[in-house]
Amino acid sequence: MSALLSVEEIHAAYGLSRVLFGISLEIEEGECVCLLGRNGVGKTTTLRAIMGFNPPGKGRILWRQRDITGWSPHRIARAGIGFVPEDRRIFAELTVEENLEVGARAAKRPGRWTIETVSELFPILRERRNQRGGYLSGGEQQMLTIARTLVGNPDLLLLDEPSEGLAPLVVHALSQKIAELKAQGLTILLTEQASEVALSLADRVYVLEKGAVRFSGPASALRDDKALHDRLLAI
Ligand SMILES: Nc1ncnc2c1ncn2[C@@H]1O[C@H](COP(=O)(O)OP(=O)(O)O)[C@@H](O)[C@H]1O
Ligand SMILES: [Mg+2]
């Protein structure tokens, strides 16, 4: 079986400052994979490279065996990759419903996810549909951002640190939603700094350090081996 997404030895930089040094990773259809690593190791840059916001200076990115390196973010989204950035860019002045309508209008891919079906997955969004985005809690904003991306019906969902800045109970609720998406067959690549969410959701993990893959393997390898886990991730 060949991978849905293959990232092959990508290098990336911001100006003269080099940030990624030959990152490779693969995701099969239906998998949930997590990029783990401390602040500043290159997780966001890797997702932005996949999405076409920071095209890699070296290396290539294959989507369904097709080389998409250098494609525009718009074209990559149209090809089926959806991106939920870490800064949750909702429209604060628009209502929840209007935010979802913007997502639905931008989406050119029909499919199972509509404003109706995402509101079934996230009932809180239906309850809050007339509230402005800016008045939502952090967890609700994160759910709205995910919902807005889902209405584009991506085949792969990139989630950048979905639990960042959320209270433990909210993180738990959000993890359950992501688990539901996974159970429904959506392929997911997420990033996290701490392993809690990652190890509860991911089938496989890649641990990054200084712009390179330091470890890759099944999530169970880190769950079962505390010494390995702490060596890779303890602050
Ligand atoms: N826009 C930028 N300009 C310059 N350097 C950046 C920029 N964004 C990130 N960096 C640097 O690139 C490195 C990797 O950042 P990032 O990919 O955001 O890491 P992570 O998501 O793992 O925290 C860090 O050293 C960070 O300071
Ligand atoms: Mg980041």
- Tens-digit pLDDT profile for the chain (235 aa)? 689 999 999 999 999 999 999 999 999 999 999 999 999 999 999 999 999 999 999 999 999 999 999 999 999 999 999 999 998 889 999 999 999 999 888 877 889 999 999 999 999 999 999 999 999 999 999 999 999 999 999 999 999 999 999 999 999 999 999 999 999 999 999 999 988 889 999 999 999 999 999 999 999 999 999 999 998 887 6
Distance, CA of 90 to CA of 97 (rounded, Å): 11
Residue minimizing CA distance to atom 13 of ligand 1: 40
Q: Which atom of ligand 1 is nearest to the CA of 208?
A: 22
Q: What pLDDT is stored for residue 235 in this prediction?
A: 66
For strands 5-14 and 17-27, give the pairing.
antiparallel
Please list, in sequence order, all residues whose beta carbon lies within 8 angstroms of the beta carbon of residue 154, skipping any fewer than 6 positions away: 77, 80, 81, 82, 109, 186
Residues with CB under 6 A from ligand 1: 14, 17, 19, 37, 39-45
Question: What pLDDT is stored for residue 101 in this prediction?
Answer: 93
Residues 6 or more apart in contact with residue 176 via CB below 8 angstroms = none
Phi/psi at 180 (5° precision): -65, -40
Specify the DSSP class assigned to residue 104: H
Strand order in the sheet with 32-36: 81-84, 156-160, 187-192, 32-36, 204-209, 212-218
Q: Which ligand is nearest to the CA of 46?
A: 1
**Residue 147 and residue 100 in contact, taking contact as beta carbons nearer than 8 Å:** yes
